[in-house]
Amino acid sequence: MQLFGLRTCDTCRKALKSLPEAAFVDVRADGVPAEVLAQAHAQFGDALVNTRSTTWRNLGDAERAKPALSLLAEHPTLMKRPLINKDGTLYLGWGKDVQVALAS
Q: What confidence tens digit (pLDDT) does each residue in 33-54 have?
A: 999 999 999 999 989 999 998 8
What average pLDDT does this structure show over 81-91? 94
pLDDT in the model for residue 89 = 94
Domains of the chain: residue spans and CATH: 2-103 (3.40.30.10)
Sign of CA dihedral 91, 94, 98, 104: positive
Indicate the pTM of the whole model.
Answer: 0.89
Catalytic residues: 9
Other CB atoms within 10 Å distance of the CB of residue 32: 19
Contact between 75 and 28 (Cβ < 8 Å): no
Are the C-beta atoms of residues 59 and 66 closer than 8 Å to each other? Answer: no
DSSP-assigned letters across all residues of 84-96: EEETTEEEES--H
